[in-house]
Chains A and B, each alone.
Chain A
């Protein structure tokens, strides 16, 4: 019966073939480790965000007059509305935490190197889309932080020489952030960006399944195959990976619901306190701080305090901040190392990767606190070291001495 049904489908759609290729028989390297879980968890969070987002939408009102009140309504009067909302806010932070881990995995194991450049670029596009989703979503509750974050971030476009002011008015659709701006960000947040994200994630996974997963040793598992053409150092995705992915999803969800139920504000990081006040276009809050996942880039923006080459400090800050996000896409072409994994790369690669991590965290911290002259200097130094990882890579990755890479994957 089931077989006949499947046959009926298979004659009309490559159903079995697709399932086998992308799920059950996908050959996963046997030495994959915990870092390889982030991808699956990202898909889980994507589903959580879609579901909770659609449910929020059922009661959210996208107008300057009604938005703030409708969020309060969801929190107080809609049955379990507060859970739906906390699910979405917690999901947003989890999304970023996971995407950073996922990207860092790629940086450690050289997963962006040939033949995975396009896979990496597609991943980077999802990251940019996610940044846009985070920003547009943050504006929707129309609290004080929503309003002023939108004002500051959109004003960045006003710093572009010559066209800036007109461009800014065009983007905002008004002379200051207003309900008109809110409506268009709403359209982006609930329709355009999620559609784009789903499409790019889909292609990201197609590309992954075309070139195959990398692994912590960075060796090509397709080199040695058994007589059926299955790579020796791989195991089929089902049941092996499915089982341990399910386990990981379970553990992840425990953390997720703990935050969602008991620490929904995340100490002011998941939901910022100032946003419990309705937007006031005449009054800026004392401290405006972006969400934690943008703070490294916010610190870079503030680090540029001097004009250069006839460009204003504010435009340069914008450029440096944008470059901090954009530079990841260039990694496949910056890395000249014959070796993929950090395990076998030389000391310089290890040093600069560590320096990058430290810079990222320090900048992340500096972005959450008010600036003082000392902190500005620190931000400047760590902005330089952040970029050093990328810009010096063509040199240090080419000339350092690497360890020999084994022929086959190493276990243990």
Chain B
């Protein structure tokens, strides 16, 4: 299994608070990997480090065998051109039309003619099923359309790594299924490596080849989907069965919690 991304001994902080605690795992090339874990477990934080937006306290992150933790901001620009990102919440620029949002990375990073970029943008919008919506503004889009527009923008520079942070959060099941189908097709046609942060079980079963699971800043699982399904780790079993983990407190501890005496 060829590695697209390798994370070694990653420790990260916000201020003095440790978020990721010595995290080590790798992500296979040409597959879709899901990053799982409860709210606040550090999934988005992990993503921000992998795309080089944040520098870790400790550890290394290899993207296509290059350690990005030691790259300068200028060197990082080149690496980032080959990465497409859909941030949690899509993050389109509201003052620009959908087409201009998609064109922006291309005009910023290439010397292509406007007429060529126009065609590229139309191709990307068609790719995500938004043909004909290029002239709309983000505020005129539904939640699902916003995600699609965000994916079109993430695909603008033909990345070989695509990161999607909770693409189907807040969408109805049919719209979410449509996005899953798009993710599957993107991998198949473009042979790219896709990393998806998600909680949606139905989605995981459709899109994922490989899974990484975080709990409170620590890795609790990495492996194929088959390995995930066969795991007898209680956290994984309860996640796959949609049960809350058993973290009920002993009566004495509960008393301490509500009286504040610890």
Q: Do A and B come from one complex?
A: no
